[in-house]
Amino acid sequence: MHKYILLVVCLLGPFAFADQNPNVSAPSNGTTVQSPVHFSATAGSTSCPQGIASMGIYLTVGNKTFVENGSSLDTDLDVADGTYTSTIEQWDNCGGASTTHVSYTVSGSGGGGGKTLSSLQASGGWAGWGELPPNYSICTSCGSGVTWSMKRGIKSPSMSGNSAEYTIGGKTAYSDVLWNNHLIGPDSSQGMPDPQQTIVPPLHDFTYEIYFYGDNLSLSENLEFDLGQFFDNYGYLFGVQCQIVNGQVWGLWNPSKNHWEPTNIPCKPVSNTWNHLTVKFERTSSNELLYQTVTLNEATSNINITYPRYYTPGWYGLVVNFQLDGNYKQQSYSVYVDDLSITYE
């Protein structure tokens, strides 16, 4: 027996070591913190010659909230008040994994002062427009080229019992439908016309959160989610689209160049189930559009891309958009939306 143990030690050599768990520097065990909660960790050593592949955060059991490639992570997550035991996990390139658990209490919002407009899919104020190729100028009466409808108060499929159904059809390939709702400013659906123009200009941080469901999402060329801020004759139109056909990646709207720019961040929504999307944007102190993060089905990816603002004389307000894009056959399809909310501060 002793000879066998000695033989194993000799074969392993002096450089063998056991895998070590992640080193978590924030939040600290047993502390009380405010939301957003700052998470910071570095990977422990690994016996895998190829090293660490990625690290992630399970905010609660089974809820993989954030993943970052490499041997460290550093991020802020919005967390509701309560007591949590979260798991920080590292994955190596040999299929191994190890974890560290951290317990903490969240109390207070951190003074962000954010306000949330909830259940917007059930709100009045929605208007739809068609967009026909090749120019994609909006039209209210587009003939048979593109057709659309929106129905509120859908009980099934629904999460809240009050979802909305958005439908696109028509005969002209690659036609789109844009739905728009004025949240703050003229024609506000939320009772905030802001005639003195005091609400919109100070706003700088935004979160677009939505649940969406489709029987066959592969019929969609793209699914688009936008938020626009307009004041002082300038516009900040934050837009992301899930490019289901073109690469299954997220695309970003560059308003200063009036076109979409693809990223390498995957977008693979699942049909016949509710997909949960959260996108965070910021109007920076230098008045640029900063795309911060996109989270689809609890997997978060950092974007950190900025674009310039653009000139929009006379426009004012905060608006939310949702858009369906037709495919090469302009096949009809529907997408159900629930728990659509916009948070701003």
Question: Max alpha carbon distance in the chain (Å)?
Answer: 87
Question: Of 215, 184, 207, which Cα lies nearest the Cα of 316?
Answer: 184
Residue 170's CB is within 10 A of a number of other CB atoms, namely: 21
Task: Check which CATH number belongs to the domain holding 307 and give it.
Answer: 2.60.120.260
Tell me how far apart the alpha carbons of residues 72 and 24 are, in angstroms, rounded to a whole number.
Answer: 10
Residue 300 located in a structural domain: yes
Q: What is the pLDDT of residue 337?
A: 98
Residues 156 and 290 in one domain: yes
pTM for this structure?
A: 0.69
Q: So what's the pLDDT on residue 6?
A: 37
What are the structure tokens assigned to 273, written together?
């189930």
Same domain, 167 and 238: yes
| Ramachandran assignment for 209, one of left (phi > 0), alpha (psi -120 to 50 degrees), beta (any other) | beta
Residue 12 falls within a domain, yes or no? Answer: no
Query: 246: closest CA among 230, 224, 228?
Result: 224
What is the CATH classification number for the domain harbouring 83? Answer: 2.60.40.10
Tell whether 247 and 273 lie within a shared domain: yes
Q: Tens-digit pLDDT profile for the chain (345 aa)?
A: 444 333 333 333 333 345 789 999 999 888 888 777 888 999 999 999 999 999 989 877 776 767 888 999 888 776 666 788 999 999 999 999 999 999 998 875 444 457 899 999 999 999 999 999 999 999 998 999 999 999 999 999 999 999 999 999 999 999 999 999 999 999 999 999 998 899 999 999 999 999 999 999 999 999 999 999 999 999 999 999 999 999 999 999 999 899 999 999 999 999 999 999 999 999 999 999 999 999 999 999 999 999 999 999 999 999 999 999 999 999 999 999 999 999 999
Q: Which domain holds residue 31?
A: 20-106
Specify if 8 maps to a domain: no
Which pLDDT value is given to residue 114?
72
H runs (alpha helix) in the chain: 2-12
Q: Which pair of structure tokens corresponds to residue 327?
A: 């495919």
For residue 77, is it within any domain? yes
pLDDT at position 101 is 94
Residue 5 counted as domain residue: no
**Of 45, 71, 106, which residue sits at a domain end?**
106
Tokens of 127: 């208007």
For 72, counting Cβ atoms within 10 Å of its Cβ (0-12 exposed, 13-18 middle, 19+ buried), the class is middle
Q: Is 205 helix (H, G, I), strand (E, B) or coil?
A: strand
Phi–psi pair at 312, nearest 5 degrees: -135, 75
Nearest to 118 by CA among 40, 59, 190: 190
251 falls within a domain: yes
Domain end: 50, 73, 106, which one?
A: 106
Mark whether 260 and 307 lie in a shared domain: yes
